[in-house]
Amino acid sequence: MHSPALSFSSLALCLLHAYATPHRPTLDIPPSNATVSISRFITANLTAVKELHTLVQPILPGRDTLTLPIYSFLVQHGSRKLLFDAGIRKDPLNLAPSLATLFTNGQFSPAAMDKDIFDVLKEAGIASSSIETVIWSHLHFDHIGDMSKFPNSTSLVIGSATDTSTYPSNPNASLLESDLAGRNVIRIDFAKSTLKINDLQAVDYFGDGSFYLVNTPGHVPGHLTALARVTANPPSFILLAGDTFHHPGQARPRPSLQANFPCPAHLVAGAGKHVSTDYFFSSGSHDGAFDIQSRAEPLLRIADGADSFWADPVVAAVSLEKVARWDAADNVLVLIAHDLTLVANLTGLSQNSGLSGLPYHPRTLNGWKKEGWKRNTVWNFIDYEGPAWIFSPLG
């Protein structure tokens, strides 16, 4: 009776062995020695109150609420400064009516929005007039900020498929006239570019190989990400991944991630005890003991139910699959816009492993590889004691 199970696990072992040598996908990134510097701000936390199922599946009983920190990234190219995403405005009730309702009806709690990107820039001593360009990964309310607070000299970069209709001419619009008024709006036309990186259309933003905008459709039309070269020799990168996923478990684990960054033993043991085998399968799991090491695909998927927050879950899943190849690579750090496991000074993990989140501005993230920051954070999501744990029913 046991032999079929045994041959399944030996197959799994063979598959694991095939991945045992450090694995790096063909990144197809053209060579360059030009780099940018990346640092990160947190502007606020958004709490998805009983709405996590619109982003993530499966949702286990009692696990439908999650805190989503909102990060913005400062990109510095010599003296030129860009922002990748502008967070959320402090007064979400003044969003376009189609979005303000998300706050009045309680789907999102507007708690802890006492600061916006202008406040954190000011605290950092950065004049908003020194921001040459704001790049929106997409037009959702937690990424567009309040552009009317930027001087008109700050330009706006958006993906070509972005819907720039505004309220009130379009009563359902996500944008207000003040989001675009008086500003140079630059649409990135990926269809015109012949460059492909990791099988994704890309544009070399500065023309020197330091910073690529990458077409990652699916979340909403026009969703884009940015690949920054942060060290030249050896080359290492940061992918500003926007909302290609919302919970790290939508990209992890993958066999190549396990090969490059083996799951720490205490988290393998913790997952064995706590991940519910009623909801999650892996070939090496037995008798209610979950085996994370033989899990062949990410634990979570993109929500594709009727009330999904994703415009096109099928297209989004393809973008996510490609981004997750980067997430597994040893020389790319993938930073989504709302990763709760990466807040600075993250506490509550089951074992203190030194740095457990990532620092904010003014520290740059460029040295992540040398500092071992990916190794120290990439498995935080599967920590039973950690804040992003959603892998067993609650109570």
Ligand X SMILES: *[C@@H]1O[C@H](CO)[C@@H](O)[C@H](O)[C@H]1NC(C)=O
Is residue 343 a contact point for ligand X (CB under 6 A)? yes
Nearer of residues 197 and 302 to Zn ion, judged by Cβ: 302
CB of 287 to ligand X, least distance (A): 35
Residues touching ligand X: how many (CB under 6 A)? 19
Is residue 116 a contact point for Zn ion (CB under 5 A)? no
What count of other Cβ atoms lies within 10 Å of the Cβ of residue 369? 20
CB of 226 to ligand X, least distance (A): 20
Nearest-angstrom CA–CA distance, 47 and 338: 11
Nearest-angstrom CA–CA distance, 233 and 242: 26
Whether the CB-CB separation of 159 and 215 falls below 8 Å is answered with: yes
Hey, what are 23's tokens?
């694995």
Out of 42, 60, 315, 355, the residue judged to bind ligand X by CB under 6 A: 42
Is residue 112 a contact point for ligand X (CB under 6 A)? yes
Out of 15, 20, 127, 181, the residue judged to bind ligand X by CB under 6 A: 181
End-to-end CA distance of the chain: 35
Nearer of residues 104 and 345 to ligand X, judged by Cβ: 345
Listed ranges 194-202, 237-245, 344-352, 364-372: which one lies at the site for Zn ion (CB under 5 A):
237-245
By a kind-dependent CB cut-off of 5 to 8 A, residue 32 interacts, out of ligand X, Zn ion, none, with ligand X
Is residue 44 a contact point for ligand X (CB under 6 A)? yes
Listed ranges 47-55, 136-144, 167-175, 300-308: which one lies at the site for Zn ion (CB under 5 A):
136-144
The residue whose two tokens read 């940018």 is 36
Whether the CB-CB separation of 295 and 247 falls below 8 Å is answered with: no
Q: Per-residue b/e over 111-127, b at no fewer than 16 CB within 10 Å?
A: eebebbbbebbeeeebe
Hey, what are 216's tokens?
């990652």
Is residue 142 a contact point for Zn ion (CB under 5 A)? yes
By a kind-dependent CB cut-off of 5 to 8 A, residue 7 interacts, out of Zn ion, ligand X, none, with none
Whether the CB-CB separation of 376 and 358 falls below 8 Å is answered with: no
Which residue, 112, 111, 118, 154, is CA-closest to 136?
154
Evaluate the omega torsion of the peptide bond into residue 253 and state whether it is cis, within 30 degrees of 0.
yes
User: What are residue 68's phi and psi, to 5 degrees?
Assistant: -115, 105
CB of 360 to ligand X, least distance (A): 6
Hey, what are 84's tokens?
């990748």
Whether the CB-CB separation of 337 and 242 falls below 8 Å is answered with: yes
Whole-number CA gyration radius for the chain: 21
By a kind-dependent CB cut-off of 5 to 8 A, residue 170 interacts, out of ligand X, Zn ion, none, with ligand X
Is residue 51 a contact point for Zn ion (CB under 5 A)? no
Residues 213-232 as x/- pattern, contact with ligand X by CB under 6 A: --------------------
Out of 129, 130, 152, 351, the residue judged to bind ligand X by CB under 6 A: 152
Residues 357-386 as x/- pattern, contact with ligand X by CB under 6 A: ---x--------------------------
Nearest-angstrom CA–CA distance, 203 and 214: 7
CB of 148 to ligand X, least distance (A): 8
By a kind-dependent CB cut-off of 5 to 8 A, residue 182 interacts, out of Zn ion, ligand X, none, with ligand X
Out of 7, 101, 129, 172, the residue judged to bind ligand X by CB under 6 A: 172
Is residue 243 a contact point for Zn ion (CB under 5 A)? yes
H-assigned helices in 22-95: none
Listed ranges 89-97, 168-176, 192-200, 297-305: which one lies at the site for ligand X (CB under 6 A):
168-176
CB of 31 to ligand X, least distance (A): 4
Nearest-angstrom CA–CA distance, 247 and 302: 10
Query: Which residue number places its CB atom closest to ligand X?
Result: 182
Is residue 45 a contact point for ligand X (CB under 6 A)? yes
Nearest-angstrom CA–CA distance, 20 and 288: 27
CB of 238 to Zn ion, least distance (A): 18
Is residue 348 a contact point for ligand X (CB under 6 A)? no
DSSP states along 310-361: -S-HHHHHHHHHHHHHHHHSTTEEEEETT-GGGSTT----SS--S--S-PPT
Whether the CB-CB separation of 334 and 241 falls below 8 Å is answered with: yes
Is residue 7 a contact point for ligand X (CB under 6 A)? no
Residues found near ligand X in the complex (CB under 6 A): 31-33, 42, 44-45, 67, 69, 112, 152, 170-172, 181-182, 343-345, 360
